[in-house]
Structure 1
Amino acid sequence: MSEATENSLESSLRQLKCHFTWDLIGERSLDEFEDRVLHKDEFQNSEFKATMLNISAYIKHRRGQNEAALQCLKQAEEIIKQEHAGQAKIRSLVTWGNYAWIYYHLGQLEDAQTYVDKVKQVCAEFSSPYRIESPELDGEEGWARLKSTIKRNERAKVCFEKALEKKPKNPEFTSGWAIACSRLDHWPPSQDPTDPLRKAIRLNPDNQYIKTLLALKLQRVKDKDTGDEGERLVEEALKEAPHATDVLRSAARFYRNKCAWDETIKQLRKALEIMPHNPYLHYQIGSCYRSQVLQLLETGEKEIYEEREKLLKQIELAVRHLKEASENSGNFSCIYSTMASLYAIAGQYTKAGYYEEAECYFQKEFSQELTPVAKQALHLRYGNFQLYQMKCADKAIHHFMEGVKINVESKERAKMKVKLQKIAKNRLSRNEADSEALDLLAFLRELNGETQEDKDLKRDLASKLHCFSISRLDVE
C-alpha cells in the first residue's frame, strides 16, 4: 500500500463512529477505565452484550491482546445478527469501525481497508462517505458512554436525545436517556427528575433496573407516599429479575440508604453469587458489616460485652470481604486503615493479637501513595488507635498534628483540630503550666490565624507560666 493510500486510510479511519474515535477513556488510566467498565459500574444488562464486547475489544487492544480483541468483535457481530437481523448492517458499523482500527494498528492495512469499505458501502446508501446520522448509532454511542464514563453523562444524554428525535417512542433509547438523566444532578430543576424514569417504565415495563432507579430518586424526596412507592418498585423489580446483577446492586443501594444492613447484605450476596470476584461487591458487603459494628458500639459497654461474640463475628466478616476487595483492586481509598480500625476495635474485647494486625495494616497504608484527604484520614485513624487502644497520647498528638498540617479543609482535619484542643485543655485543667499543652494551643492558634482574644489568652497563659517558673526558683 502506497504512502498516499495509507494516509487516505488513516483519514477515513478518523471519520468512523466507533470506540477509537469517541475518546471514552479521557484523562483516566487504562486500569481505571477497565475497572469502571468491568467491575464498578452496576449497569450490566445482558441485552447489551454486543456493546460490552465492543468495549472489551477496545480494552484488550489497548492491552496488546489483539487476538482476544478480534475474537470479541467476532462475537459482537454474531450477536448483532441474531438480535437485530433487520438492522444488522447499521448496528454493525461500530463493530466494523473497531475492526478497521485494530487491523490498522496491527499493520494489516488491507484488512483495515476491507472494513472501512464495508462501512463506506452501507453509508453510501445514505449519501454519506464514512458516517451516517442514525438513531441506532447514536444509541450505541450513548450506551458506550453510560458504561464508560462517570463525569460525562451529559454527552450520553445528548446521544439518546438525538436518537429520540428520529424515534421518540423507542423503549431502548428512552431507557438510555432516563438512565443518563438519573445520573445528572444538575438536570433541569424546573422538571420533575422522576419524569424520564416514569416515561421509560411506561415504554419498557420489563426493564426492572429502571424501576430501581426510580425508587432511588423517590427515596431522596423523603416523603412517606413516595417512600412506599419506592419500596414497592424495588420489591417488584427483585421479584421479576431475581438474578439481574444491576437490579440487585441498585436495590442494595436503596436498602443501604435506609440503613437496612441485613437486607442490603442479602441483595449484595445474591449479586456476588453471579459475580464472585467483583471487588466492589466485596467492598460494599464489608462496609455493611462495618456499619453494623459501629451501630453495635453505640449501644453501650454492657450491651457490647453481652453481644461480644456477635461483634467479633461481624468484624471478621467485614475484614474478610475488605481483604478480598483489596486483593482484586487497588482503587479503594483508606481500605487498609479501615481494616486496621476494625482490628483495633476487636482488640478491645479479646486478648487475641488484633492490635498487632491493626499496626500491620496501618503501616501498609502509610507506605502507599495517598491523596491529601486520604492522608488526613489515615493520621486521624492511627492517632485514635494510639490514643484509645495503645494509650500513647504522645504518638496520637504527633499524628493529629501531622494530619492538620496538610493544608486541605476536610471533616477529618476539623476532627483532629478538635481532638488536639481537647487534649490541650484537659492537660491544662490538671496543670496550668503544662508547656506541651501550651505549645499545642499556640500551634492551633497559628494554624487558624490568631485573633485579639487569642492573643489575650496567650498573654494570660504566658503570665501564669512565668509566675510558675518564679515559684519553682523560690523553692529550689
Structure 2
Amino acid sequence: FSFFFSLKGGLKSKLLLQECHFTWSLKDDFVLCDLLNRLEEQIQLECKEARVTRAYNSLGFVQYLYGNQQEALANLQKSVELAKEHYKDSDEVLIVTYGDLAWLHYHINEFSKCEEYLRELERICRKVSGRFTYTVEVLREKGWTFLKFSNKYSHAAKECFRQALEMNPDDSDLNAGYAIALYRTTKDTPDSSDSPTIKQLERAIELNPDDAVLLLLLALRMLNNRDKTFEPALKKVIVALRMSPENPHVIRYTAKFFRQLGNMDIAINLLEDALQATPNSAFIHHQLAMMHDEIQQYLDQCIYHLDRAISLKPSFVNAVADLALHHGQLGSFKADRLFEEAFKLAYNEKKHLQAVHFLCGQYQLYYKRSEPLAFQHFMQGLRLQPESELGKLCEDKLKTMMQHRIKWLKSPDDGMVCGIQGFIHEVKGEKLKAEEFYERECMHQCM
C-alpha cells in the first residue's frame, strides 16, 4: 500500500504541472447537459475541419465529469487520431490532449498508462524547447475552451488570445478567437468610431474571409451606430447568410440582428429554422420566448419556450425570472416560487441579480399590486449597477412610480417619495442632494 500511495502521490505532483482541462478549474461555472449539447452540435458543424479536435477533447473532459470514463477515453483518443491526421507531425497540438489522457488514466488507477503520456509530454517539451509554438498551442486551446465552456471565462479567454497573438500576430485562428472574446467582453457606444472590438473583428475577417459568424458579429456591433452604418451592416448579414445558410449560429445571429432592428417576424422565423437544426439550444428557446413577449402575443408559446430553455439549462437565471413574470401575468401561484428560485440561482451564480430584481419589481407592481415591494426591488436593482442599461431602467421605473404617487397624494413632500429621491441621488454619488431629500423625509415622518 505504501508503494501504491507513493507512486500515486508522485504522479499527482507531475500532473498538476500540466496545462489541460483538468488543471484549468473548469468544474463549477457551467451546466453539464447544456455544454454537452453544445459540444455535440459543434462536432456536427466542424466534422470536416481540423479544429474539431478541440471539441472532441472538451467532450472527453465533460464525459469524465459525468462519470462516463470509457466515453471520455474514446473522445480523447478520437481527438488524438484527428490531430495526427490534420496536423501530421505537429506534436504541439497534442499537449493538452495528452495532459487530459494522463489525468484520466490516473483517475482510473491505470498508472502505467498515465506515466506513458507524461513521458510523451516530456519528449514534446524537449523537442520544442526554445520554440514559442509550445506556449501558443496551449494558449490557443485554453482560450477556445474558456469561450466554449462559459461566459464567465470570456475575460480569461481574451487574455489567452492576447498573449498568443503577441507571439504569432498573423495567426487566423487566434485572431478569430480574440475578436470573439472582445465582442463578448466589451460594449461599444454609438460614438465608438475607434472601437478596438470592431478593429479586431475586421482584422479577423481579413484573415478568415469565409467565416460568416465573424461577419455577423461585426454587423451586430455596427448597429450601435446604425444611422451611419446600417446599410454596410445589412450587406454583411446578406453575405453571411449566402455563405452559410444552414449554419444554426449564423441563423441565430441573423435573427438577433433583425430583432435589434425591430423586425420580430423575420427574427422569429429565422430562430424557428435554427431550432430545427439545434432543438436542444436553451439560448434559442429563450430568445423565441422573449420575441413572442415583445410582440405581445402567444403567451403560451413564451411559456413553452421558457420551460424548454430551463429544462435544457436549469441554472438559466434570466429564463427562470422571465418565466416567473409570465406566470405572474397569468395570476399563477408558480410565480412566487419561480422568483425565489431565480434569486437563489442569481446569488449562487453571482450574476444576473440586477435583472431578477428588475423583473420581480415589475411582478410586484403590475400583478401583485404591492407598491412598497416594487419600490424595494427597483431600488436594489439600481444600487447594484446604476450606470448599466438595467440600472437606468430601474431608475426610470422608480421615477414613474414617484410621479404617480405625487399625483395621487397631491404632495411632492411625501416621505416615501423624498426617501426614494434621496436614494437615487445617493447611488449617483450626489451626496448634498441626497442629504436634502433625506432631511425632507425625516421632517415628513416627524409631522
Whether TM exceeds 0.5 here: the answer is yes
Q: Per-residue deviation at 1:86?
A: 4.1
- Quickly say closer, same or farther: Cα 1:43–1:457, change in 2 above 3 A: farther
Q: Say yes or no: does 1:322 pair with 2:324.
A: no
What does 1:134-153 align with in structure 2 at a 5 Å threshold? 134-153=135-154
How far apart in 2 are the matches of 1:216 and 1:340? Answer: 30
How far apart in 2 are the matches of 1:332 and 1:90? Answer: 37
Letter in 1 for 2:374: F
Deviations 1:221-270 (A, max 9, x none): 3343x221111111111111112222222222222221221222222222
Deviations 1:431-476 (A, max 9, x none): x9xxxx99xx4445456465555566667xx5xxxxxxxxxxxxxx
Q: Which residue in 2 is equivalent to 1:72?
A: 75
How far apart in 2 are the matches of 1:161 and 1:407? Answer: 34
Letter in 2 for 1:106: I
Q: Which residue in 2 is equivalent to 1:216?
A: 220
Q: Which residue in 1 is equivalent to 2:276?
A: 273
Q: Which residue in 2 is equivalent to 1:368?
A: 341
What does 1:90-169 align with in structure 2 at a 5 Å threshold? 90-127=92-129, 133-169=134-170
Q: Which residue in 2 is equivalent to 1:400?
A: 374
How far apart in 1 are the matches of 2:291 and 2:194? Answer: 36
SS state of the match for residue 193, structure 1?
helix
Identity in percent = 22
Q: Per-residue deviation at 1:277?
A: 1.6
What does 1:326-405 align with in structure 2 at a 5 Å threshold? 326-333=310-317, 335=319, 338-339=322-323, 341-342=325-326, 355=330, 358-368=331-341, 370=343, 371=346, 373=354, 374-375=356-357, 377-387=359-369, 396-397=370-371, 399-400=373-374, 403=377
How far apart in 2 are the matches of 1:363 and 1:68? Answer: 41
Q: Is the 8 A contact 2:419 2:438 kept in 1?
A: no
Q: Which residue in 2 is equivalent to 1:251?
A: 254
Q: Is the 8 A contact 1:164 1:173 kept in 2?
A: yes
How far apart in 2 are the matches of 1:360 and 1:126? Answer: 63
Q: Per-residue deviation at 1:99?
A: 0.5
Q: More displaced, 146-155 or 100-109?
A: 146-155
Q: More displaced, 333-342 or 212-221?
A: 333-342
- Quickly say closer, same or farther: Cα 1:22–1:273, change in 2 above 3 A: same
Deviations 1:303-335 (A, max 9, x none): xxxxxxxx4xx2232222122222322233364
How far apart in 2 are the matches of 1:134 and 1:237? Answer: 33
Q: Is the 8 A contact 1:404 1:417 kept in 2?
A: no
Query: TM-score by structure 1 length?
Result: 0.73
Letter in 2 for 1:257: Q
- Which segments of 5 or more consecutive residues in structure 1 lack a partner in the other structure? 294-310, 346-354, 388-395, 463-476
- Quickly say closer, same or farther: Cα 1:11–1:227, change in 2 above 3 A: same
Q: Which residue in 1 is equivalent to 2:61?
A: 58
Q: Per-residue deviation at 1:361?
A: 2.9
The structure 2 residue matched to 1:196, chosen from 190, 194, 200, is 200
Q: Which residue in 2 is equivalent to 1:10?
A: 12
Q: Per-residue deviation at 1:192?
A: 4.7
Q: Per-residue deviation at 1:114?
A: 1.2
How far apart in 2 are the matches of 1:152 and 1:189? Answer: 27
- Quickly say closer, same or farther: Cα 1:337–1:453, change in 2 above 3 A: same
- Which segments of 5 or more consecutive residues in structure 2 lack a partner in the other structure? 347-352, 384-390, 423-434
- Quickly say closer, same or farther: Cα 1:114–1:159, change in 2 above 3 A: same
SS state of the match for residue 303, structure 2?
helix
What does 1:220-299 align with in structure 2 at a 5 Å threshold? 220-224=224-228, 226-293=229-296
The RMSD of aligned alpha carbons is: 3.7
Greater CA radius of gyration, 1 or 2? 1
Letter in 2 for 1:193: T
Q: Which residue in 1 is equivalent to 2:182?
A: 181
How far apart in 1 are the matches of 2:93 and 2:333? Answer: 53
SS state of the match for residue 21, structure 2?
coil
How far apart in 1 are the matches of 2:159 and 2:381? Answer: 39
- Quickly say closer, same or farther: Cα 1:234–1:452, change in 2 above 3 A: same
Letter in 2 for 1:400: A
Q: More displaced, 4-13 or 247-256?
A: 4-13
SS state of the match for residue 359, structure 1?
coil
- Number of equivalent positions: 406
Deviations 1:140-161 (A, max 9, x none): 2222222234244444344334
Q: Per-residue deviation at 1:83?
A: 2.4
Q: Which residue in 1 is equivalent to 2:85?
A: 82
SS state of the match for residue 99, structure 1?
helix
SS state of the match for residue 151, structure 2?
coil
